[in-house]
Every structure is written in structure tokens, then in C-alpha cells.
Structure 1
């Protein structure tokens, strides 16, 4: 006796609930006695149903390896650019834990990464970085001004000069300038040649490297209180115009 092949068993249109699939069976199926209900009606073999439905299921399902690839590539990028405490990083992590493989559960992952990409390309992340950096440098300036008012010129000079140099570097990096192993004098020239500073600020900036060098090399005799005050004033103005956007 020949072994029964269930893949070839006919299943009629009356046993199918999906309206679109029923219409397709009516148009293309051959009349046969249904293996389920016995009705003679337009039918498909079981293998035909499988061939027709499998691509639909596949289009709605993401392989586990693909999800792992997203986690391995996208999550480190979000961490590197925005940090672990950022909403983008946290939202992506949470969406991944809820992802069950179906396309509808993968969509939030794609949406989070798309939003992060838009913020990155729009410069939002760099604006946030500058604002936070400006707040930190502002604290240094406050301490420097306080030290100067109390007669501690040298302490004020070091605080103000450190804030100045780091502020210039961060501002240059935020504008895609290479400051690696560059001296402060080099950074000043980069900012000027790129048109990122101008007017009175540009003229005052020319004097800053010399004052900074004297402060950080402990050449106190080359610094006067007005010199230190000018560094503090310049940093305050630079933070106000470049770091408060």
C-alpha cells in the first residue's frame, strides 16, 4: 500500500477563512474532494498553501541573527555618541528586550535609531555637549574670578587658562577640526582660518596663548592681575557666544 503524502492532500476553499486567499483559490484551484470536510470544491494541495503563506510569514519575521546584528552594531554606536544615560540608548535597549522577532516588534528599534541618527546629523548632540561643557567651564571661571578677587592671582590664572584651552579644543572638535596634538597657538589659528571666530574676539584671541603659557608654566612674573582678568573676561564672553546655543 502506497504511503499517504499529506503535502498533496487537497484542502478546499470552504475550509479557508481568509477572504483574499479564498478568492485566489477560487480563481486558480482545481475541483477536488477536500481532505478535511469532504466537499468537492476549488482546492489547493497542502504544499500550495505552504508555498503561498511562507513568504508572507517571512516578511513579518526577523531572524534572531538579524536582531543580534542590530544589537551588536547599533547599540554601541548609540552608546559612543549619546552615552548610556541618553534617552536614545535606553529606549533602544528597552525596545530590544521586547523584540520577539516579528516585524512589528522590530519597528521600534528602527524608529529609535532613526531618531538618534536625525539628532546626530542635525548637530543636536554637539549642541548639548557644548552647553554642558559651557556649564562646567563656567564653574571654573567663577572660581577663577573669586580667587582673583581674594588676591590669589596665580591660582586664578591657572583655572582660567585651563578652562580657556579646553573650551577652545571642544569648540574646534564640535566644528570638525582636528586638534589632536595641536598646541593652543595651532588651535587658535585653526579657528581663525575657519572663520569660527571674528571681530574683537579674534583680536583678543591672539593674545591668549602667551598668557596661557605663562600661567601653566608657572611664569608668574610674566602675569599681572589685569592679564588674568583679561583671560577670565575672554573665557566668559567665549562661553556666552559659543557654548550657550
Structure 2
């Protein structure tokens, strides 16, 4: 489930903060600071996770963004970032927050799949293929982003390969994913002769299963 991915990433970034190097200031031996590249690297990953797991409208995200904007690397500023992050983690782990955008996305994908299934049942194979493949590609990209993978300018095959190599999909889903890019390319390039009804049905079934296992809270 997608919440399991979030929870694991919260744990990873909590541990990663302990490795952020604090150094003594040359101006004052009592002051500690962190080089911009070091704290910004951690903060960027933390901000991305809070946004994905809880949403941009949450106070956790807004406070974290404000803390980043005010951070110059001094220890109290970097520790403020950590404090806001841990607040988000505690509320997420306790089940007190959820990402409305992610829930809505799952519902939208579900609507696409329902339309695709209806179109296929009515004999409109090509329409069903386009709807199902569009939902497939979008939900794979969204899930890859949550897993911390870069999807910008990536083909669907590259995204599939990254998900597989990172261990983010397994079992039957991993096997079925191998066939999806070919079907997607034929559908979105209107190469209808290369797509049969059983293949469209397989895409619809895969997206339904993927939504249940990855986009359920």
C-alpha cells in the first residue's frame, strides 16, 4: 500500500538527518552550522515527502516551506526543519492526517477504469484502450514520484524499469508490467491493429489491482 511507502520513507529520512554534518563556526566556537548543500539535500527530500504524504495545504507542509526559506544553515534553523518534519511524521504515523489529493487521484483513476471497462463491454475496444492506458501511465508516474524516483522526461518503459529495479512492485504485478508499455504505445499511437480485446482487458485489470494495492490508505 502507498501508506507503507510513505512510512518507510519517513523512517529513512529520520535516520538520514542523524548523518547531517554540523560544523563549528569559524566566527564563534559556540555556534554550529550545516553547509547549504548538506542541509538542503535532506530538506528537499523531506519537503517532497511531506507534500506527497500529507499535501500542500497542510500546516506541516506550509511550515516546512517557511522554515526552508528562513534557513541559512545555523543549527537552530536546521533543527527547526527537523522539528517540523518529525511533527509531520508523528501525525502521519498516528493516522491523524491523509493526503486528500492522493485519495482524489485514486478516485479519478478509478473513474477512468470504469469508463474503460464500460467502453470495452460496449464493443469500443479502441476507446477503452486509450482510457485504460492513460490511467495506467499516470498512476505509475504518481506512484514512482512517491517512491522518490525521477519521472521527468522518462518513458513509461523507463518508469517501469525503475519501479522493478527498486523493488517497488513484485509478484504478479511485476510480471504483468513487462507487457504494459507495448500496449500503451500501440494505444496512444492509434496502432489499433496491434491491440486485441484481451490485452485491453488485461490493462484494465492491472490498473484496478494497482489502485487497490498501492493507492488505498
Unmatched 5+ stretches in structure 2: 1-46, 64-81
TM-score by length of 1: 0.53
Match of residue 134, structure 2, among 162, 181, 193 = 162
Q: Is the 8 A contact 1:141 1:232 kept in 2?
A: yes
What is the aligned partner in structure 2 of residue 54 from structure 1?
none
Distance 1:128-1:178 versus aligned 2 partners, 3 A rule: same
Aligned pairs (5 A) from 1:77-156 = 81=51, 82-84=55-57, 86=58, 118-119=87-88, 122=92, 128-156=100-128
1:136 Cα deviation from its structure 2 partner? 1.2
Q: Is the 8 A contact 1:130 1:171 kept in 2?
A: no
Distance 1:203-1:176 versus aligned 2 partners, 3 A rule: same
What SS is found at the alignment partner of 1:196? coil
Q: Is the 8 A contact 1:130 1:244 kept in 2?
A: no
What SS is found at the alignment partner of 2:148? coil
Distance 1:87-1:181 versus aligned 2 partners, 3 A rule: same
What SS is found at the alignment partner of 1:195? coil
1:134 Cα deviation from its structure 2 partner? 1.2
Q: Whose RCO is larger (CA < 8 A, sep 6+)?
A: 2
Which structure has the larger Rg?
1
Match of residue 181, structure 2, among 192, 209, 219 = 209
Q: How many equivalent residue pairs? A: 147
Q: Deviation per CA, 1:104-145: give whole Å up to 9, x if none.
A: xxxxxxxxx956763268588786543332111011000110
Segment of structure 1 superposing worse, 127-136 or 171-180: 127-136
Matches of 2:133 and 2:120 in 1, distance apart? Answer: 13
What is the aligned partner in structure 1 of residue 152 from structure 2?
180
Q: Is the 8 A contact 1:126 1:174 kept in 2?
A: no
Matches of 1:118 and 1:220 in 2, distance apart? Answer: 51
Note the aligned Cα RMSD (angstroms): 3.1
Q: Deviation per CA, 1:26-60: give whole Å up to 9, x if none.
A: xxxxxxxxxxxxxxxxxxxxxxxxxxxxxxxxxxx
Match of residue 170, structure 2, among 198, 205, 208 = 198
What is the aligned partner in structure 2 of residue 38 from structure 1?
none
Matches of 1:176 and 1:126 in 2, distance apart? Answer: 18
TM-score by length of 2: 0.59
Matches of 2:98 and 2:165 in 1, distance apart? Answer: 21
What is the aligned partner in structure 1 of residue 197 from structure 2?
225
